[in-house]
Structure 1
Amino acid sequence: MTNVYLTARFPRIAFTKLETNGFTVDYYTGRDLISHSKLLRKVAKADFLITTLSTVVDSEIIDAAPNLKLIANFGAGFNNIDTEYAKSKGILVTNTPKVSTNSVCELTIGLMLALSHREVEGDQMMRKDGFPGWSPLYFLGHEIAGKELGIVGLGNIGSELAVKANALGMKASYFKPHQLSEDEEKAQNVTYKPFDELVKTSDFISINAPLTDENHHQFNAEVFDNMKDSAFLINVGRGPIVDEAALLKALKANKIAGAALDVYENEPVFDKKFTKLKNVILTPHIGNATVEARDAMAEIVADNVIWSSKGKEPKYVVNK
């Protein structure tokens, strides 16, 4: 028998595909995250591991699974896995890029609109106190058309976000370590700016980059000091890219106009002081939490297990 262990409940399509292809499937049934100690026990007989990006798969976990052939990560990121150690053991690691692109972009646009039109603040006010009635200067926000969106990280998600932003009348600029060619920039209707310049000129900044050693706390107190006091920060990338303590201070001091966070520095733990601020929107890491995106991700991880079991190279290997 070939054993597959899943570290969480996944969309049904993953189970159906695996069971149809003769795999013995076991999975973690808890609603919280699986503990490291429990995963150590569960992977002992696993030939294949399908894991969420919130579950750490370190060298200890890998060593506890002597039969492991593939780690299929359910998410575009993979910094939760010791990919180099897996490679040294001959274990492939895959992820699920691209299929969550549209979902994350839609959430980002929604957060921009909600911040600029003060939608969450208005909803909370209506639920608590109601409002005194319409008047010309009451509860004003801003339109996003004509504003500059600075995109930090122009991969699949950042590129699609630029398309959607342009369609809404925004100007899209971007920063990434390697600038696109002039033809690529024209095709995507984006303008490259060095990071320091992008920070100073953007009305909205969306973080869409993967986490690296270089961009840990890239958004710190100095960056917030250099942003427009009317600017909004949106993080749908990775939590540790933002120094949350510095962000909290900047928001309290009105150094920037507001922020929307879908990812957190130490998630699922986050600083509850953010909940006291009216100019902050907090969402529980739901960037790709749509039926469409999650089903597509489930298909990828299941297919990768199936192909790998047949001696074929799976898609989206990240540690060749």
Structure 2
Amino acid sequence: MGKVVVTGRIPEAALETLRAEHEVDAWAGSESIGREELLARVAGADAVVSLLTERVDGELLDAAGPQLKVVSNVAVGYDNIDVPACTERGVTATNTPGVLTEATADIAFGLILMATRRLGEGERLIRSGQAWKWGMFFLLGSGLQGKTLGIVGMGGIGQATARRARAFGMDVVYQSRSEIAPGVAAELGARRVELDELLAVSDVVSVHCPYGPATHHLIGAEQLAAMKGTAYLVNTARGPIVDEAALAAALRDGVIAGAGLDVFEKEPQVHPELLDLENVALVPHLGSATVETRTAMAVLAAENSLAVLRDEQPPTPIG
């Protein structure tokens, strides 16, 4: 029986899956585990089930020891994991793609609606107790029918967001490292373009690409200036893909009409200028936050760990 260290609270179904075959040391604190505590706990672990709040680097891998076989991230993104360091030490790294696609696309489209229809502003007005009265020009937003959605990163979540856009009568363009399958492109009516064209023609730009050195501040002041003045930006991928300071300035100065953010550069911190703006909807990294999705993510991470410890191919290895 091996030792599995879980770095944060995960659904009980995943813990039961792990306990059926191995000893489990799971952090149960309401706050994220401290770094020193984490390094101490992973010592002697055969598997580590990690949350995106924990940095898995050479220091942690060495603290675990040479018997460590697998790191299973409970997330589709894995910018918190030093994958080359894992490879160098013979440790398999896995993530949880697929199971959070629909939930994250729901949040992306929810933010599109919040931003374009000014729903956050409306709710804040009601809760503030201010007097209000219906009028023809009261809190006017922007409709989506006949507008263009530009998707940056056309993986599973991008495609799921495009399907929702089509249901709302939107046209779709996308920028991605590779073309999607012809049948999918036909279903979505999606046209592949370069980022410059996408920014210029889109009424809403939704970010779904992975985060890494090549996409750090992919959307900055120059890209925001290239968007329509009536356009909106939504980010449900990773915070540092968007330059928050540049976005705050663009929203303040009317360079673009509005934005919706589920992720932030330095979570849980939010750029203070964004907090003072009415034309941005802000939610605290809720992309996969449904009971069903978070359970499926954790169980998949557990299954990845168990497979490697059985010397089997894990369902969803990174790379």
Q: What whole-Å deviation, never above 9, does each CA across 1:150-208 have from its counterpart, x for those lacking one?
A: 00000010011111110111111100122346554223321112100110111111000
Deviation at 1:212, TM superposition (A): 2.3
Which residue is equivalent to 1:257?
257
Q: Which structure 2 residues correspond to residues 83-232 of structure 1 after superposition, within 5 A?
A: 83-180=83-180, 182-232=182-232
Deviation at 1:31, TM superposition (A): 2.2
State the alpha-carbon separation in 2 of the partners of residues 184 and 107 from structure 1: 22
State the alpha-carbon separation in 1 of the partners of residues 27 and 292 from structure 2: 23
Aligned length: 318
Q: TM-score, normalised by structure 2?
A: 0.96
State the alpha-carbon separation in 1 of the partners of residues 239 and 168 from structure 2: 27
Task: Give the share of equivalent positions with the same residue, in percent.
Answer: 38
- In structure 2, runs of 5+ residues without a counterpart are none
RMSD of aligned alpha carbons: 1.4
Which residue is equivalent to 1:272?
272
| 3-state SS of 1:97 partner | coil
Which residue is equivalent to 2:47?
48
State the alpha-carbon separation in 2 of the partners of residues 230 and 223 from structure 1: 14
Which residue is equivalent to 1:28?
27
| Contact 2:114 2:260 survives alignment (8 Å) | no
State the alpha-carbon separation in 1 of the partners of residues 315 and 136 from structure 2: 56
Aligned-partner residue type, residue 195 of structure 1? L
Deviation at 1:269, TM superposition (A): 2.0
Q: What whole-Å deviation, never above 9, does each CA across 1:73-122 have from its counterpart, x for those lacking one?
A: 00001111111111111110000001000000111111111111111101
Deviation at 1:13, TM superposition (A): 0.5
State the alpha-carbon separation in 2 of the partners of residues 88 and 272 from structure 1: 40
| Contact 1:162 1:189 survives alignment (8 Å) | no
122-131 or 206-215, which moves further after superposition? Answer: 122-131
State the alpha-carbon separation in 2 of the partners of residues 102 and 73 from structure 1: 19
Aligned-partner residue type, residue 145 of structure 1? Q
State the alpha-carbon separation in 2 of the partners of residues 3 and 182 from structure 1: 46
Aligned-partner residue type, residue 302 of structure 1? A
Deviation at 1:303, TM superposition (A): 1.2
154-163 or 298-307, which moves further after superposition? Answer: 298-307
State the alpha-carbon separation in 2 of the partners of residues 132 and 268 from structure 1: 33
| 3-state SS of 2:297 partner | helix
Which residue is equivalent to 2:309?
309
Q: TM-score, normalised by structure 1?
A: 0.96
1:72 to 2:72 alignment: yes
